[in-house]
Structure 1
């Protein structure tokens, strides 16, 4: 059986189908991203009869209603939204919502003499050669004969009415031009349609399963799907651009009156920068929390009413799925839930977004928090489980590969088994003594400063209140927050002068430490044994060289906080390899002790 049909239909028919609700253009999270010049170029291509590409639609599966009748699914426009919206903007005069969520007109002008299109501007509006807004030509009340006569008279074109009329008819014929339409078979599975959807490029942006799910949600007009979409979209937008609040609300009067707005508007007053979710993150957390599944494609199936056992689509399942999704989204955007989760995140030592490379680590942490809360687990136990799972996930790269599969596996184990025991079993398998003593030491042998192992070391320093290298009072947390310097303990130029010229060697993370800028500058390019000799003089009261440490006891404590062996004070280039090996072992032990302190 063919997986799709290819046919054509006129621009006018497509617009009519959209107005009649036969084709749903999802109010997807991306606003209209084309600028006026692209709309102008599209009109020019249509006018000249040039191809403008196919649009792709998919008919939702038919759903069996409660009374046994079959409800025919709508067609969803899954590719071509920008082109169709551009045509509606220019031809119908429809307003579009731009990237700042402001409604505006994109007005396209046409010069019948030169047969050129342009984005309307004040100069064009004053020039009688131009039709300043082609939408007036397509209005049902437009009188072509009267227009042509007036146009020729104003422009001194007596006798040229036939030519201008011919040009005007060509312009008006845009509505009759056929566009290619690829209609995906209703028999295709959700997975197959999702795969097709993901492969489509729209304005250079690869569409994802989350995009597809958002299309499905926002095209629903029966179970409140579009309001769910707006809750997700606006929450994320307000978090990143709170200044747009008044503008968005003034442009969306219906949502402004809804209870949904009351649930998300608190975020406008916050300045959160550790966990800043996008719509895909909100969707993933909300879905996995409520449905205990990790595969977003399953969400599209469920919202279509899919019964996975009988393989039929039931309205009762669709209705229940939309209700559960809304509950999941409301749990995500809850001020209480969000702030309490972030409190747990910060308690791990994550005080800056730069310390977490994987957004899915934080996503699953929130899924786990919400799920354990639903299970009525004691708050102290929730905090411990979530805190340790976040750090375990970072150390093991748990969600760096097939994240959906890992998420699906983990949420089922946490909710179907004793969650405390599942954590213990996972620790026994993945954080054994062999991991701390050997595996982690080996993984610390890297030059990537964004390595999760180095970042976890910094988290451990923050958690344990460690001070910056050679600092008496300034701690690592303050240095991270103020974007302090990452210093080479064996200075880079010192190593290079002594033959260590490979970046991979002198940029080893075991050679990195946070320190104050002024200390870093004073150390310059000296060997450790040289600049630490100055520190010996300083603690002996013979000068002030770096920072304000004044006792040998405090100096040794500072070295320990940074996992630097005391023997380091006597080292030079010949000890560099030994220093790296020793510090990696110390760092691994430090991270182990930190992890075990998270109970």
Structure 2
């Protein structure tokens, strides 16, 4: 069954329906933004009967109930009190422009190409339009809200402040293009000598507007919310992406609930910001409203599934746990009211969990997407999350997701599976979640971890830091320095300059195996020297003065062998560090990460080492 019809509707009919409120905007549509140049181009295109693109409308009266509003310029008109029959999904800018310039008596509130706000009336210079029908852009004139045009020196060069002056000077107002009876009556009275010229103009320009038809695609009222959202994103010519949050905001508003105020807050209506409350923890500063909605959808659909099972449903009749876009869009207002406060606490518990795992800043988080199921499961667990057995499983699942690099890209299915399977695992030790089963980390993955933005890189870095990594120059832990906002560098342990002098390839010395976080000051002291040179220098610093044993202890806190480092034995050092980091990864994931060759021998730079 088709979900849409396509037809042609006259411009005049569309404008009438807009002015009477039969056609309005869904509340998620942004405001009208076209500037003076865009307006002139559109008017010239219609005047020459050029195509300006299709319009897409959505029938109202179906399951998709949205808050609506009239087009700009009609906010105080009777249209605002009318229940619309159709909503504009595509064509807002064009239809608003045509409605403001052709149908409304007030000046068009637009802006210059540089963004300065201006109020203009638009006219056609009849003489220019008749003389140059192929250059109508030049025939379109805009005057200010007093219907006057000024020179650069402030002198009035055109005054159209009365109908008589318009007729005598042959400037035709765009507001008369669809019906010019009043203007023609005045022309007959005050300037009959211009009648023949005007009639040539009328047969060209006004007739083009009156006969103009736009192709219209009309979506049926049974169109789903997901389809409305997807269609809007595909057809929106301004490149504006419609978020799930915006569509649900419009949907909830139709039921009298202001979701935007709930999330962002409102000083005017004295509503606290849920977003602000959540962002009080630095780990949660980037939580998006769509992620919050996704978490609510998880707990709502899980509860719904339990109800289905308890009522005796089976097979396809049991609705699944989901975090997919379509299910988020179907989230009822009752679910938000039931779960929003509980999920807010769940996100705050997620921040506490992450802190216990040694994450302190948002930038350190491997995946923001993994916070969604984490917050949802902590909402389910409540205080039980701190029980040792449950906490251990939660930590294992988290690190398997991070180090197995399983939460990048589209993860809606994994999020839903993990939520449901974690609940089962807490009850049954044998019911391992798919993420724990799927997670895999091979020791050669260290060789390709070079970007500090990758999830596994961030995770391994935190694993090293939480073992108590100390700075090589300042008497402080790296994590302590980070919390104090001391500038830190991810530095090559064997410096780049030294590696290049030894013929070591960039893909080897740039991997995480040869990097560690240090204070900027320690980083500068190292320079491009060999470890055998810079380590004694660091020890002997005036304000450091460490013994070799003390320095080795500090070096070793970075999961490395200080003796191999002092010996400048790059190959042995890399193989040894691979084994040390592998143990940290294996311990965090709670499972073997791959086979480490006997003796720790690896192929580096194409040669046996």
**1:284 corresponding residue in structure 2:** 294
Return 340-349 or 171-180, whichever deviates more.
171-180
Distance 1:518 1:220, change over 3 A: closer
Contact kept in structure 2, 1:344 and 1:386, CA below 8 Å = no
Provide the aligned length of Structure 1 versus Structure 2: 518
**1:378 corresponding residue in structure 2:** 384
Distance 1:185 1:338, change over 3 A: same
Cα distance in 2 between the residues matched to 1:496 and 1:188: 62
TM-score, normalisation: structure 2: 0.69
Cα distance in 1 between the residues matched to 2:380 and 2:427: 13
Of 556, 559, 570, 1:560 maps to: 556
Distance 1:290 1:2, change over 3 A: closer
SS at match of 1:7: strand
Indicate whether 1:204 and 2:239 are aligned.
yes
Contact kept in structure 1, 2:59 and 2:219, CA below 8 Å = yes
SS at match of 1:445: helix
**Map 1:83-482 → 2, pairs under 5 A:** 83-88=94-99, 90=101, 92=104, 107=120, 109-110=122-123, 112=125, 114-116=138-140, 126=150, 127=156, 129=158, 144-145=183-184, 159-160=193-194, 163=197, 170=205, 174=209, 177-185=212-220, 196-197=231-232, 199-200=234-235, 202-205=237-240, 207=241, 210-211=243-244, 214-215=246-247, 217-218=249-250, 222-224=254-256, 227-229=258-260, 231-232=262-263, 234=264, 256-257=268-269, 261-262=271-272, 264=274, 266-267=276-277, 270=280, 272=282, 274-292=284-302, 293-300=322-329, 302=330, 321-329=332-340, 331=342, 334=344, 338-373=347-382, 378=384, 380-381=386-387, 389-415=397-423, 417=424, 419=426, 421=428, 425-426=432-433, 429-430=436-437, 439-446=441-448, 447-473=450-476, 475-476=478-479, 478-479=481-482, 481-482=485-486
Q: CA deviation at 1:456?
A: 0.8
Distance 1:17 1:278, change over 3 A: farther
Bigger proportion of residues as helix: 1
**1:544 corresponding residue in structure 2:** 541
Q: CA deviation at 1:266?
A: 5.0
Query: What are the Cα deviations for residues 371-393 of structure 1, in whole angstroms up to 9, with x where unaligned?
Result: 434xxx53635877666544432
Indicate whether 1:588 and 2:582 are aligned.
yes
**2:80 corresponding residue in structure 1:** none
**1:253 corresponding residue in structure 2:** none
Q: CA deviation at 1:406?
A: 1.0
Runs of 5+ consecutive residues of structure 1 not aligned to the other structure: 66-71, 236-244, 250-255, 304-320
Distance 1:140 1:296, change over 3 A: same
Structure (1 or 2) with the larger CA radius of gyration: 2
SS at match of 1:182: strand
Q: CA deviation at 1:38?
A: 3.4
Distance 1:584 1:522, change over 3 A: same
Q: CA deviation at 1:404?
A: 1.2
Cα distance in 2 between the residues matched to 1:87 and 1:166: 23
**1:313 corresponding residue in structure 2:** none
Distance 1:578 1:184, change over 3 A: farther
Runs of 5+ consecutive residues of structure 2 not aligned to the other structure: 66-82, 129-137, 151-155, 162-171, 303-321, 591-609
SS at match of 2:433: helix
Query: What are the Cα deviations for residues 393-440 of structure 1, in whole angstroms up to 9, with x where unaligned?
Result: 22222322441111222233345x3546479723995399xx5xxx35
Distance 1:107 1:95, change over 3 A: closer
**1:7 corresponding residue in structure 2:** 7
**1:571 corresponding residue in structure 2:** 567
Q: CA deviation at 1:492?
A: 0.9
Query: What are the Cα deviations for residues 129-183 of structure 1, in whole angstroms up to 9, with x where unaligned?
Result: 3879978668999953588699xx9xxx994466568768946975874221112
Contact kept in structure 2, 1:358 and 1:399, CA below 8 Å = yes
Distance 1:181 1:39, change over 3 A: same
Q: CA deviation at 1:26?
A: 2.1
Distance 1:297 1:23, change over 3 A: farther
Distance 1:35 1:499, change over 3 A: farther
